[in-house]
Chains A and B, each alone.
Chain A
Amino acid sequence: AQSVTQLGSHVSVSEGALVLLRCNYSSSVPPYLFWYVQYPNQGLQLLLKYTTGATLVKGINGFEAEFKKSETSFHLTKPSAHMSDAAEYFCAVSVMNRDDKIIFGKGTRLHILP
């Protein structure tokens, strides 16, 4: 069965600094990996996804993530944080088999310091 672990339920970075949100997954077969963002009182919005091919994936709002099979990781980064990036971020994993529901991590709340 798949699982996702997000390290750090809260992360604070200064405006303009590097954003790094960590995600490790467990899957017995090649996974599909996702990052979602949630703003207050809103649903989740897809930031980016990895299915196959290039391991560095670029998403919306300047975010990107790199699939590292050897480390079973899919960390989310952004070179320069903006105040509008303050939100909760969820990493998720799925595989295409009979039981292919998407499994979400517990989320990381990103705080941007002025």
Chain B
Amino acid sequence: KAGVTQTPRYLIKTRGQQVTLSCSPISGHRSVSWYQQTPGQGLQFLFEYFSETQRNKGNFPGRFSGRQFSNSRSEMNVSTLELGDSALYLCASSLRARDKNEAFFGQGTRLTVV
């Protein structure tokens, strides 16, 4: 069974540009969550999608957005990139079922903004 796949693994962008990251969840998982991880702030929750609907949202500016497609694949977009957006972006998928709600993580996308 394939795990969570995130593409690309590494990305370098310039300030002011926008970026789109992709996440393919484990087959059968309908929940996809996104996290930003930085040395200073740790693991911060961005948002969660379930069946194409945003269920939860973290405390990030509107430059951060996401969506989920009918096949559960998800994308997140960051517009007008800032230097502080440099981070490891992690995607996690889950069954969201009782006793089976642990998150399975992808390897992440390392975004560097220069």
Contact = CB atoms under 8 A, between A and B. Distances in A.
**Best-buried of A49, A90, A104 by chain B (most CB within 10 Å):** A104
Interface string B59-71: 0000000000000
A41 B110 CA distance: 8
Contacts of B106: 43
Interface stretch (A11-19, A71-79, A95-103): A95-103
B48 interface: yes
B37 to A, nearest CB: 9
Interface residues of B, number: 26
A46 B33 contact: no
B103 interface: yes
A33 B98 CA distance: 13
Nearest to A48: B102
Interface string A46-85: 1001011000000000000000000000000000000000
A37 B96 CA distance: 21
Contacts, number: 59
B33 A102 contact: yes
Given A32-B101, A43-B90, A44-B90, A101 B107 contact: no
Contacts of A34: 102-103
Contacts of A51: 99
A42 B43 CA distance: 13
Contact of A107 (B42, B45, B96, B107): B42
B107 A46 contact: no
A45 B105 contact: yes
Contacts of A24: none
B101 A43 contact: no
**Best-buried of A43, A102, A107 by chain B (most CB within 10 Å):** A43
B108 A43 contact: yes
Interface of A: 32, 34, 36, 41-46, 49, 51-52, 90, 92, 94, 96, 99-104, 106-107
Given A32-B102, A41-B108, A102-B94, 6 more contacts: A52-B99, A100-B101, A101-B48, A101-B56, A102-B92, A103-B45
